[in-house]
Amino acid sequence: MAALHDPKPTPMMAQYLALREEAGDALLFYRMGDFFELFFEDARKAAQILDIALTTRGEHMGEPIPMCGVPVHSAESYLARLIKAGCRVAIAEQVETPDEAKARAKREGTPSSKVLVGRAIVRLVTAGTLTEEALLNPRRANVLVALAELRGTIGIASCDVSTGAMVLEECETDRLGAALARLSPSEVVVPEDWQHGPEEAIFRPRSTFASDAGTERLKAVHGVATLDPFGDFSRAMLAAAGGLVAYLEHVGRGSLPLLLPPVLRAAEAGMAMDEATRASLEILEATTGGRAGSLIGAVDRCVTGAGARLLAEDLSAPLLDIAAIEARLALVQFWRDRPIERAQLRDILRAIPDLGRALGRVVAGRGSPRDLGQLRDGLSEAARLHHWLSGAPDRPALLDEVLARLTGHGALTDWLARALVPFPPTERSSGGFIADGYDAALDELRATSGDARRAIAAMEARYREETGIASLKIRHNGVLGYFIEVGARHADALMAPDSGFTHRQTMAGAVRFNSLKLHEEAARIAEAGGHALAAEEAHFEELVGAVVEAREAIAATAAALARLDVGAANAERAAEGDWCRPELAEDDGLAIAGGRHPVVEAALAKAGERFVANDCALAENNRLWLIGGPNMGGKSTFLRQNALIVLLAQAGCFVPASSARIGLVDRLFSRVGAADNLARGRSTFMVEMVETAAILAQATQRSFVILDEVGRGTSTYDGLALAWAVAEAVHSQIRCRCLFATHYHELARLAETCEALSLHHVRAREWQGDLVLLHELAEGPADRSYGLAVARLAGVPATVVNRAKTVLEKLEATREATGGIAAGLGDLPLFAAMRAEPAPASPEKQLAEALRAADLDALTPREALDLLYEWKRALPRSKG
């Protein structure tokens, strides 16, 4: 920026430019009084994003300085919009008072008229490091991720800074995309010059990603001599953790937020899903954006933000441990069977504050008296729940685990209850949050201040009587303090030298005065008020210290309340939709009776329509279903609903079906509904092939795959050939459970050679020229595609449809005469048979290939001679 080259900037501008350089790529919020000001390019960018006025302030280098500002008291709302727009913001605060600045100038020998209040960047506000309630979505975790690669393995450290939860894990390079899709981070930090991170990653010095430094940072944060009690972390994990903690220190300018002990996540701890599968199934976000139309939007009945965040985590990482899944299901069943108690529990939970995030703000040094009040109230309600639920019979094991973490805070809650007023304020600068009776000295200071205020009220009445001015008032503002105000026409009487009043300010229509007695009472109020504020601040810090000391136990209680909410919410959803408890098994079967798509069913219910349920039964001898039928017939819905039922079951939820028995799925793949990715230069067909390649490379026998219209984005011959080969590979090589929807009727011939493949179709009928879609799945191949009927239903002009019918009749006649495009496929050997070794090449061809491959310039004479002898021995002997 041109401003950096000004030879003689003003002291304020010099200070600003130094801070501006320190802020780097972040916008700089420069504190000036009650405003945060932005200058130069920062002002232009912020004004456009925030839609606020762009003004100028003086000149710099002969040009007006662009400027805009936002009030300090409402800065959070502006920060939220800037962060949402992808900005990072550096906060430069005044770090000394004007009196301290003057004292510093005196020590330095600088004229006090030229002294500038010191400012420093106290914090960087970034998308992944938010703790403020106004900047966060209460129902979504805000995850910061750091990545570090060590000998081909990528360490991943993730942390929700708002609650302090930290998880360490690792993965191979080709699995990074799936891991990041599961975590859905707001911000990713990577070592400088590292090429494997996402495009929007923040680069940090490589030295901060050292495993030894990571170990030392974690030990220092948690005050331990060894990390062994937390888990056996790899060096890659520790390197990532070091980078994450270092970044938090950087943005916090040396202060750290709440960081709970790290939790180790095993590489195969949950069902694997890549980014394409998550997007296709719309688990946490619909393709249109937002929760509406997503799986969580249809499932979530949580009454707390923490519960909604935990449910999102459950759905993002379904389990592979049947015991853990059954524990969650048992908790859901417990509340499903007790509707009255469930309603009572949900009413109690609805009133409990978000303990995890209140704790995060307090520990990060951004807490308020209101946050302490929330912790007091939330922990008290947790103890009440513990007392109530401890007497419940037939409690499942997971409920007992939860109950054990709801208690143990009696001393702290008693202390907070005695110290705080019932409804503490959000700001502590004005005091008033410490309860009467907690501190006798504070009560005395308040009484002194109150007495002085009453004395001022009495003084006002006395002055009115003495002067005869009924409109005389004693007022107060932040500049003059207390003053006496009368109308301009009464001012002369108070201007007299012997009146006992001193003139202070003349206003339009009013004149302001002071008096000795008023000054004395004001001084008493100011002194008592100042001491009272100092006393309240000391009590606040003491209470914060107690909370920080108990942070891990409080966080455990917050997590327990969230698990209670998820269990009760899942039971509520199950009762509401008549969902069933799934049965989990270690085999490769899948038996779903009356399965329904939760999102589509909810949408139809709003329109007053009924969802048509369908069954799905896959087994070792019937593991691949080839499904045909018309567009809009429900093929894609059927595919997705079975994938979502599997996902819900392994997440520990009841499922939308009459019954469900599910063999554990290690990896879930969905190649349904690909779209162009123009930003990466990929067409629809390219995206489809990339996703299909990932499935063929990564799926195992225990996986569940849904494929829709493979090969549709290219020519008919190419598409059919690819669909045929993919179906064979899934059937004969991977041997996993698969639902394969297609319009290629020719694929039905695969049933002749693939013993575990069966044919199915979605039913449709034409009635009096109209297409009737029944949305029912039936056995056997589809008799036709009904493409022209669908076109007519979509509103394609009748002339076009009629012409298409004529062309179709001609094509079908040709197919009957020639056997169609699939002619000869019946003689094609199976995919497995194609892997037989080809016939060996002749010795002459082998010699020619060896000669072409030889690097003659690199051979020594001896090596060349040996090679000639070898080739001679390889040639067949002459018969002559």
Name the band, by pLDDT with cuts 50, 70 and 90, for residue 2. Answer: very low
pLDDT: which is higher, 1 or 375: 375
pLDDT of the residue at 193: 85
Alpha-carbon torsion angle 7, 11, 12, 13, nearest 10: 10
Q: Considering only 54-63, 587-596, 699-708, which range has the smallest mean pLDDT?
A: 54-63
pLDDT of the residue at 735: 95
pLDDT: which is higher, 528 or 660: 660
pLDDT of the residue at 499: 85
Closest CA to 431 of 414, 413, 443: 443
Q: Are residues 760 and 779 in contact, defined by beta-carbon separation less than 8 angstroms?
A: yes
Residue 266 DSSP label: -
Instruction: Report how far residue 270's alpha carbon sits from residue 177's, in angstroms, rounded to the nearest whole number.
Output: 15
CA distances from 722 to 479, 719, 742, 840 (A): 80, 5, 12, 28
Instruction: Report how far residue 395's alpha carbon sits from residue 382's, in angstroms, rounded to the nearest whole number.
Output: 17
Q: Considering only 4-13, 75-84, 242-251, 510-519, which range has the smallest mean pLDDT?
A: 4-13
Calculate mean pLDDT across residues 47-57.
91
Q: Are residues 92 and 31 in contact, defined by beta-carbon separation less than 8 angstroms?
A: yes
pLDDT of the residue at 830: 52
pLDDT of the residue at 100: 82
Calculate mean pLDDT across residues 533-558.
95
Burial of residue 652, with CB atoms counted within 10 A of its CB: 0-12 exposed, 13-18 middle, 19 or more buried: buried
pLDDT of the residue at 831: 52
Calculate mean pLDDT across residues 764-793.
75
Q: Are residues 406 and 560 in contact, defined by beta-carbon separation less than 8 angstroms?
A: yes
Beta bridge partners of 63: 60
Q: Are residues 529 and 444 in contact, defined by beta-carbon separation less than 8 angstroms?
A: no
Calculate mean pLDDT across residues 774-789.
79
pLDDT of the residue at 676: 42
pLDDT of the residue at 62: 73
Alpha-carbon torsion angle 571, 572, 577, 583, nearest 10: 0
pLDDT: which is higher, 403 or 456: 403
pLDDT of the residue at 199: 84
**Radius of gyration in angstroms for the set of CA atoms belonging to the chain, rounded to a whole number:** 37
pLDDT of the residue at 369: 96
Sheet holding 473-477, edge to edge: 473-477, 481-487, 510-515, 501-507
Closest CA to 74 of 4, 134, 7: 134
Q: Which one-letter amino acid corresponds to residue 222?
A: H
Instruction: Report how far residue 712's alpha carbon sits from residue 824's, in angstroms, rounded to the nearest whole number.
Output: 21
Residue 783 CB coordination number (10 Å)? 11
Query: What three-state secondary structure class fits 5?
Result: helix
Q: Considering only 23-37, 737-751, 760-774, 844-858, which range has the smallest mean pLDDT?
A: 844-858
pLDDT of the residue at 876: 67
Instruction: Report how far residue 411's alpha carbon sits from residue 408's, in angstroms, rounded to the nearest whole number.
Output: 8
Q: Are residues 363 and 257 in contact, defined by beta-carbon separation less than 8 angstroms?
A: yes
DSSP E strand stretches across 668-716: 668-671, 704-708
pLDDT of the residue at 818: 58
Query: Cβ neighbours of residue 172 under 8 Å, at least 6 residues apart?
Result: 152, 153, 154
Q: The tokens of 40 are what?
A: 């130069």
Q: Which residue has the tokens 């390197």?
A: 239
Instruction: Report how far residue 695's alpha carbon sits from residue 354's, in angstroms, rounded to the nearest whole number.
Output: 40
CA distances from 4 to 1, 20, 41, 147, 535 (A): 6, 9, 12, 35, 45
Closest CA to 622 of 769, 739, 758: 758
Instruction: Report how far residue 73's alpha carbon sits from residue 75's, in angstroms, rounded to the nearest whole number.
Output: 6
pLDDT of the residue at 175: 87
Residue 361 DSSP label: H
Q: Are residues 651 and 624 in contact, defined by beta-carbon separation less than 8 angstroms?
A: no
Phi, psi of 157 (to 5 degrees): -115, 120
- Residue 54, pLDDT above cutoff 80: yes
DSSP E strand stretches across 365-479: 473-477
Query: What three-state secondary structure class fits 870?
Result: helix
- Residue 833, pLDDT above cutoff 50: no
- Residue 159, pLDDT above cutoff 60: yes
Average pLDDT taken over every residue of the chain: 88
Instruction: Report how far residue 630's alpha carbon sits from residue 793's, in angstroms, rounded to the nearest whole number.
Output: 12
Name the band, by pLDDT with cuts 50, 70 and 90, for residue 4. Answer: very low
CA distances from 381 to 345, 349, 450, 546, 652 (A): 11, 8, 35, 19, 26
- Residue 671, pLDDT above cutoff 70: yes
Q: The tokens of 286 are what?
A: 């619909």
Sheet holding 35-39, edge to edge: 55-60, 63-71, 35-39, 27-32, 89-94, 119-125
CA distances from 187 to 174, 192, 199 (A): 20, 15, 11
Q: Which residue has the tokens 């429900």?
A: 634
Find the DSSP H helices in 91-208.
98-108, 176-183
Calculate mean pLDDT across residues 643-662.
98
Q: Which of 131-135, 194-198, 721-725 has the highest mean pLDDT?
A: 721-725
Closest CA to 507 of 475, 468, 461: 475
Q: Are residues 88 and 189 in contact, defined by beta-carbon separation less than 8 angstroms?
A: no
Query: What three-state secondary structure class fits 672?
Result: coil
pLDDT of the residue at 395: 95
- Residue 111, pLDDT above cutoff 90: no
pLDDT of the residue at 709: 83
Calculate mean pLDDT across residues 199-211.
92
Annotate 45-71 with b (16+ C-beta within 10 A) or e (fewer): bbbebbeeeeeeeeebeeeebbbbbbe
Query: What three-state secondary structure class fits 379?
Result: helix
Instruction: Give the 3-state secondary structure percentages of the chain, helix then strand then coil, rounded to 5.
Output: 50, 20, 30
Calculate mean pLDDT across residues 705-716.
82
- Residue 834, pLDDT above cutoff 50: no
pLDDT of the residue at 673: 65
pLDDT of the residue at 857: 66
Q: Considering only 31-40, 395-404, 444-453, 782-791, which range has the smallest mean pLDDT?
A: 782-791
- Residue 427, pLDDT above cutoff 60: yes
pLDDT of the residue at 233: 94
Q: Are residues 189 and 202 in contact, defined by beta-carbon separation less than 8 angstroms?
A: yes
Alpha-carbon torsion angle 430, 434, 437, 443, nearest 10: -20
Query: What three-state secondary structure class fits 55?
Result: strand
Query: Cβ neighbours of residue 299 under 8 Å, at least 6 residues apart?
Result: 311, 315, 570, 573, 598, 648, 653
DSSP E strand stretches across 545-618: 583-585, 590-595, 614-618
Instruction: Report how far residue 39's alpha carbon sits from residue 291's, in angstroms, rounded to the nearest whole number.
Output: 37
Find the DSSP H helices in 119-185.
176-183
pLDDT of the residue at 656: 98
DSSP E strand stretches across 369-527: 473-477, 481-487, 501-507, 510-515
Tens digit of each residue's pLDDT (9 = 90 or more) over 225-257:
999 999 999 999 999 999 999 999 999 988 899
Instruction: Report how far residue 421's alpha carbon sits from residue 369's, in angstroms, rounded to the nearest whole number.
Output: 9
pLDDT of the residue at 803: 84
pLDDT of the residue at 523: 85
Convert 296-316 into a string of H (helix), E (strand) and C (coil): HHHHCCCCCHHHHHHHHHHHH
pLDDT of the residue at 417: 96
Tens digit of each residue's pLDDT (9 = 90 or more) over 286-335:
988 889 999 999 999 999 999 999 999 999 999 999 999 999 999 999 99
Percent of the chain scoring above 70 in pLDDT? 91
Q: Which one-letter amino acid corresponds to residue 483?
A: F
Instruction: Report how far residue 629's alpha carbon sits from residue 188's, in angstroms, rounded to the nearest whole number.
Output: 44
- Residue 680, pLDDT above cutoff 60: no
pLDDT of the residue at 877: 62
Q: Are residues 671 and 276 in contact, defined by beta-carbon separation less than 8 angstroms?
A: yes
Closest CA to 257 of 73, 124, 131: 131
Annotate 839-849 with b (16+ C-beta within 10 A) or e (fewer): eeeeeeeebee
Q: The tokens of 235 are what?
A: 């060096």
Instruction: Report how far residue 639's alpha carbon sits from residue 643's, in angstroms, rounded to the nearest whole number.
Output: 7
